[in-house]
Amino acid sequence: MKEFNLNKWIDESLPKFELLGKHIAFIIENLLQQNKIDYLSVSYRTKTKEGIIEKVDRKNYKNPWKQLTDVSGVRVILYLESDIVRVSKILNSTFNIDNENSMSNESRLSSDKVGYRSVHYVCDIGEKRNVLKEYEYVSGMKCEIQVRTMLQHAWAELTHDRNYKLGANLPLEIKRKINLFSGILEIADQGFSEIVNSIEEYKESLSKEDLEQSLSHDINSITLDMFVRNISNKIGLVLTPVKDWGGEITRDVINELNFCGFNDFNSIASAIPQNYAEVANEYFPQNNIYGFLRDLMLINNFEVLSQKPGLNWHVTGEQESEGANKMRDFIQILCRLIKRHYWSLLLLKLDNIAKNAFFRIFMAYKIGHYTTLFKA
């Protein structure tokens, strides 16, 4: 092919390849979400005209419109190595895979070299979509999909995509170190997957236990979650799911429970007021596991909790103002009442305006709760 024709083909094809990458990335992201596979990112890129010409010259391609398979590229970065198998199955069932130009998970694992490489597939949009009007523009065009874990991505960035050039010709001793550390990263990748699988198996075993059985476990993020599920079902408490359970806030709540003397599940269960579920469901419909556990600490160990250093429930220095100070002064008075008559106040037959005002103030107290609130 003459250079002029190559230039013309590139100019005509690049907008299509850009659209192809965008379509495939969108489809993959939807499929990951539908299959509940956690991922770091799904991104796409299109080679530049200069990049295409450079590769055609370097590879001495005679039929670049057939031989170029990575003008459009999509990169999927996953958290776990074990999810690569799941994603590979999804890609195989969704797109037309060019097996000759692809590296599947099986071929990657069968390598006798030390170290590891990411999976990549060359494909088109797929038979079902090829016949649809909206995909007619990119029908039959090929795209390369790379599937990596975060560790694989970091390694690829160091060895290929940056200026370190660890994949270049290097002294034997340096090559040996590169292979060694690559192997260590592969083991770490597999180790993370094994840890997550162990956690899921542990959760599965706990989910089969009833409330009485769950009382015997030590308190940790997993057993606490299962205990609250069991106890809330038993007492009819409705809790809103949280997405960040197991993170820093969970750690803080467990520390607060220990500080207040809740060192086992029996002590937590016995601290729940008889009418808690009824009142909480009516007045705090958006309550969640954090609110439930902190309610128990406020109700039963108000004075102890007030002495915990660094207690700060979502109030920052930027929120300080004269108005906020006045509100806290008023809330301190309210806190004394809540401490002594919490449940009787909740059950007062107030008119709707007074009731709403009271619970708005109480919720402000609850959310704006921190050490200085307890000093008066």
Q: Identify any residues that bridge with 147 across adjacent strands, giving them in sequence order.
A: 76, 119
Same domain, 299 and 151: no
**Type of residue numbered 147:** V
Sign of the CA dihedral running 296, 299, 301, 305: positive
Contacting residues for 155 by C-beta, under 8 A, at least 6 apart: 116, 182, 185
In a domain, 367, yes or no: yes
Amino acid present at 352: N
Kindly give the pairing relationship between strand 96-97 and strand 39-46: unpaired
Statement to judge: residues 10 and 156 lie in one domain: yes
Among 232-241, 307-316, 352-361, 364-373, top mean pLDDT goes to 232-241
Q: Is residue 264 part of a domain?
A: yes
Mean per-residue pLDDT for 262-274?
89
One-letter amino acid at 333 equals I
pTM over the 0.85 mark: no
User: CB of 37 within 8 A of CB of 86?
Assistant: yes
Is residue 239 within 8 Å of 228, Cβ to Cβ?
Answer: yes
**20 and 77 assigned to the same domain:** yes
Let me know whether 93 and 126 are in one domain: yes
To the nearest whole number, what is the mean pLDDT of the chain?
78
> Same domain, yes or no, for 151 and 216?
no
Phi, psi of 321 (to 5 degrees): -165, 165
241 shares its domain with 329:
yes
The domain of 85 spans 3-190
Q: Output the pLDDT for position 142.
A: 94
Domain membership of residue 347 (yes or no) is yes
Mark whether 268 and 334 lie in a shared domain: yes
pLDDT tens for each residue of 104-151: 755 555 444 444 567 899 999 988 888 888 888 888 899 999 999 998
Classify burial at 30, counting beta carbons within 10 Å of its beta carbon; exposed 0-12, middle 13-18, buried 19 or more. exposed
Q: What is the CATH number of the domain that holds 82?
A: 3.30.460.10
For the stretch 316-339, pLDDT in tens is 344 445 544 544 555 455 555 555
Domain count across the chain = 2
Cα–Cα distance list, 292 to 73, 136, 156, 285, 342 (Å)? 47, 54, 45, 11, 15
The pLDDT assigned to 166 comes to: 59
Same domain, 232 and 324: yes
Q: What pLDDT, on a 0 to 100 scale, did the predictor assign at position 345?
A: 46
Pair 167, 240 in one domain? no
- The angle formed by the CA atoms of residues 252, 253 and 256, to the nearest 5 degrees, is 90
Residue 201 included in any domain: no
pLDDT tens digits for range 58-91: 988 888 888 899 999 999 999 999 999 999 999 9
Is residue 280 within 8 Å of 237, Cβ to Cβ? yes
Q: Give strand pairing partners of 370.
A: 312
What are 178-233's pLDDT values in tens digits?
788 888 888 888 898 899 888 888 888 887 777 777 787 889 999 999 999 999 99
The predicted pLDDT at position 28 comes to: 97
Written in H, E and C, the secondary structure of the chain is CCHHHHHHHHHHHHHHHHHHHHHHHHHHHHHHHHCCCCEEEEEEEECCHHHHHHHHHHHCCCCHHHHCCCCEEEEEEECCCCHHHHHHHHHHHHCEECHHHCECHHHHHCCCCCCCCCEEEEEECCHHHHCCHHHHHHCCCCEEEEEEEHHHHHHHHHHHHCCCCCCCCCCHHHHHHHHHHHHHHHHHHHHHHHHHHHHHHHHHHHHCCCHHHHCCCCCCHHHHHHHHHHHHHHHCCCCECCCCCCCHHHHHHHHHHHHCCCCCHHHHHHCCCCCHHHHHHHHCCCCEHHHHHHHHHHHHCHHHHHCCCCCECCCCHHHCCHHHHHHHHHHHHHHHHHHHHHHHHHCCCCCHHHHHHHHHHHHHHHHCCEHHHHCC
